[in-house]
């Protein structure tokens, strides 16, 4: 595995995006365990895109404008829904000191859905992975699977760090209602901005 692949993957994963934002919000909302669950869920959401790139389905998505647009707008609607739920202090990112917490299943479902409904990930894997498959390899499919798995491991580790840092700040934030309101609005704005960014994406 080349250093270039590791460095490029780290830069891509560490850049602000849906998974990172979701994991940090989960850490603030429910603490360490929820942040790790959210990181795991966001990583799971990569699998369909990885398989699509490896099997060639991403190429079909790339050439089918209608299919791309349908999947894209489903993703946009879901991100806007998450923004609305966060703003209302409801759903899987409910930040509260009471016992009305979302279930682990809700957190996983939301994390997987956000990545699953992002067609850019399939296009990204289609364009990204082949660049690091050696021209002299005898089994390019196996190498693509290996690179994808390493990308997923790195994704979980980086997102887990984001979530743990957010969870560490949780108690301080919960004792300051005004800060909680500002954070809720900030995360809602973040999800909405990601939804708008996805909406403006073109093939």
Residue at 2 is within a domain: no
Domain that residue 36 falls in: 18-199
Contacts (Cβ under 8 Å, ≥6 apart) of 172: none
Q: What tens-digit pLDDT sequence spans the chain (203 residues)?
A: 678 888 888 887 887 778 888 888 888 878 888 889 989 988 988 888 888 777 776 566 666 777 677 777 877 887 788 788 777 765 555 655 554 566 777 778 888 887 777 766 777 777 777 777 776 677 777 888 888 889 899 999 999 999 999 888 887 777 777 777 777 788 788 878 877 877 877 65
What's this model's pTM, rounded to 2 decimal places?
A: 0.75
Residue at 85 is within a domain: yes
Residue at 9 is within a domain: no
Residue at 107 is within a domain: yes
Rounded CA gap, 130 and 5, in Å?
Answer: 11
Domain count for the chain, please give it. 1
Residue at 116 is within a domain: yes
Residue at 76 is within a domain: yes
Residue at 119 is within a domain: yes
The confidence score (pLDDT) of residue 92 equals 53
Residue at 10 is within a domain: no
Contacts (Cβ under 8 Å, ≥6 apart) of 41: 22, 107, 108, 109, 110, 111, 112
Rounded CA gap, 192 and 83, in Å?
Answer: 6
């Amino acid at each position: 595995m080349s250093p270039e692949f590791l460095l490029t993957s780290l830069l891509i994963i560490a850049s602000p995006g849906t998974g990172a934002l979701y994991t940090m919000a989960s850490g603030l909302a429910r603490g360490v365990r929820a942040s790790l669950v959210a990181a795991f869920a966001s990583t799971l959401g990569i699998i369909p895109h990885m398989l699509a790139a490896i099997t060639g389905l991403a190429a079909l998505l790339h050439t089918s404008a209608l299919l791309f647009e349908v999947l894209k707008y489903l993703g946009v609607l879901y991100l806007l829904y998450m923004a609305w739920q966060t703003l209302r202090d409801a759903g899987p990112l409910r930040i509260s000191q009471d016992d009305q917490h979302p279930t682990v299943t809700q957190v996983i479902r939301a994390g997987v859905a956000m990545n699953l409904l992002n067609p850019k990930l399939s296009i990204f894997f289609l364009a990204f992975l082949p660049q690091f498959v050696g021209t002299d390899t005898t089994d390019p499919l196996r190498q693509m699977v290996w690179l994808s798995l390493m990308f997923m491991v790195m994704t979980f580790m980086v997102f887990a760090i984001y979530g743990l840092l957010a969870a560490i700040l949780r108690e301080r934030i919960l004792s300051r209602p005004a800060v909680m309101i500002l954070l809720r609005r900030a995360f809602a704005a973040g999800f909405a901005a990601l939804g708008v960014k996805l909406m403006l994406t073109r093939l």
